[in-house]
Amino acid sequence: MEAKKASESFIIMNEMVLPNDTNHFGNLMGGRLMYWMDIASAMAAMKHCNKLCMTASVDNLSFKTPIRLGNIVHIEAKVSRAFSTSMEIHVRAWGEDTLHQYKYPSNEAYFTFVALDAENHRPEAVPKLIPETPEEHRLFEGALRRRQLRLVLAGKMKADDAHELKALFTATIAKEDTE
């Protein structure tokens, strides 16, 4: 299976915030945005592996700025790292006020998708990922620690086995001790 560039999975999705998408404050409901982010992530995952995929987890969904009624939502999704059968997708969302001509960051998250075979719905291997830009390399390097944290929190990995994650904390503590 041939490795693929991160840029090959890049997706841009746009939506307009309509009245049925908002809460009583006139802001886009978080669940609706998460739904759209999940769709964009699924498209990026399927584009990377050319297989059916399903959401395995969502983590670090950070709400920064609300998106108002009538604004446009821009969602960008791209595979940040591929493992054996799963992929981490980095997703960013912006709001755009077209009347006042400005765009603002709203949300960011990491979604994990698993590739499945079409017949039996069992996990299947995915192509390795080739990061190219400095940001893609940064996301790629951090993905292993994020994966280990997800697995530890889900009870699927022992904390003692999360070596890259432990190294991050050990390095931080060692640095603080020398300062």
CB 102 within 8 A of CB 145: no
Token couple for 62:
């950070």
CB 54 within 8 A of CB 113: yes
pLDDT of amino acid 176: 62
Domain assignment of residue 27, yes or no? yes
Domain assignment of residue 63, yes or no? yes
Domain assignment of residue 146, yes or no? no
Domain assignment of residue 79, yes or no? yes
pLDDT of amino acid 173: 56
Q: What DSSP assignment string belongs to 6-24?
A: GGGG-EEEEEE--GGGB-T
pLDDT of amino acid 179: 67
Domain assignment of residue 166, yes or no? no
pLDDT of amino acid 175: 57
**Helix or strand run (H / E) with residue 133:** none
What range defines the domain where residue 88 resides?
4-131
Number of CB atoms found within 10 A of residue 45's CB: 29
| Tally of domains within the chain | 1
Cite the beta strand spans of 8-120 per DSSP E.
11-16, 52-63, 72-82, 86-97, 102-116
pLDDT of amino acid 177: 62
| CB-side neighbour CA atoms (13 Å) of 51 | 22
Domain assignment of residue 86, yes or no? yes
Domain assignment of residue 113, yes or no? yes
Domain assignment of residue 173, yes or no? no
C-alpha to C-alpha distance for 111 and 125, rounded to whole angstroms: 18
Residue pLDDT tens, the chain, 179 long: 899 999 999 999 999 999 999 999 999 999 999 999 999 999 999 999 999 999 999 987 888 999 999 999 999 999 999 999 999 999 999 999 999 999 999 999 999 999 999 999 999 999 999 999 999 999 999 998 888 888 888 888 788 877 877 777 775 555 566 66
pLDDT of amino acid 171: 58
Domain CATH for 58: 3.10.129.10
Token couple for 88:
């981490």
pLDDT of amino acid 166: 75
